[in-house]
Amino acid sequence: MEILNAVTALSALAQEHRLKVFRLLVQAGRTGVPAGKIGEQLDIPLSTLSFHLKELKQAELIQCQREGRTLFYSAKYETMNTLLAYLTENCCQGQPEDCEVPGACVS
């Protein structure tokens, strides 16, 4: 991952609503969540949510799929894993076991 991509992703996640949306989508799995349901669950007005979804999508942290008239959003796990790998690449002075993320999903 290039430094610019990492900065873009971290910048997108640095906003409270966007971080909550991203966490919700990571927890939801690959099937994703309809936009309206995201707004309901996080109590974010749809006009505001639309802006935050656009920012996360531009940072390539989420993706969108249309099914009929419904837009389903899901996390892009590849980007998330690449960002995590970038952040921990040279961690802990060569002791990567010290960088283990508690409770992380293992594929």
Helix (H) or strand (E) holding 17: helix 16-28
Residue 45 lies in a domain: yes
Q: Given pLDDT bands bounded at 50, 70 and 90, which one contains residue 34?
A: very high
Residue 73 CA to residue 66 CA, distance in Å, equals 9
Q: Given pLDDT bands bounded at 50, 70 and 90, which one contains residue 15?
A: very high
Residue 107 lies in a domain: no
Q: What's the mean pLDDT in 10-20?
A: 97
**Separation of CA 62 from chain center:** 6
Q: What is the pLDDT of residues 56-102, one digit of tens each?
A: 999 999 999 999 999 999 999 999 999 988 888 777 776 767 777 66
- Number of domains making up the chain: 1
Q: What is the DSSP letter of 32?
A: -
Residue 106 lies in a domain: no
Angle between helix 3-13 and 46-58 (nearest 10): 160
Residue 104 lies in a domain: no
Residue 105 lies in a domain: no
Residue 54 CA to residue 66 CA, distance in Å, equals 15
Domain range for 44: 3-99
What is the reported pLDDT for 88?
81
What is the pLDDT of the chain when averaged over all its residues?
90
Helix (H) or strand (E) holding 82: helix 77-88
Residue 62 lies in a domain: yes
Residues 6+ away with beta carbon under 8 Å from 36: 46, 70
pTM score, whole prediction: 0.85
Domain with residue 21: its CATH number is 1.10.10.10
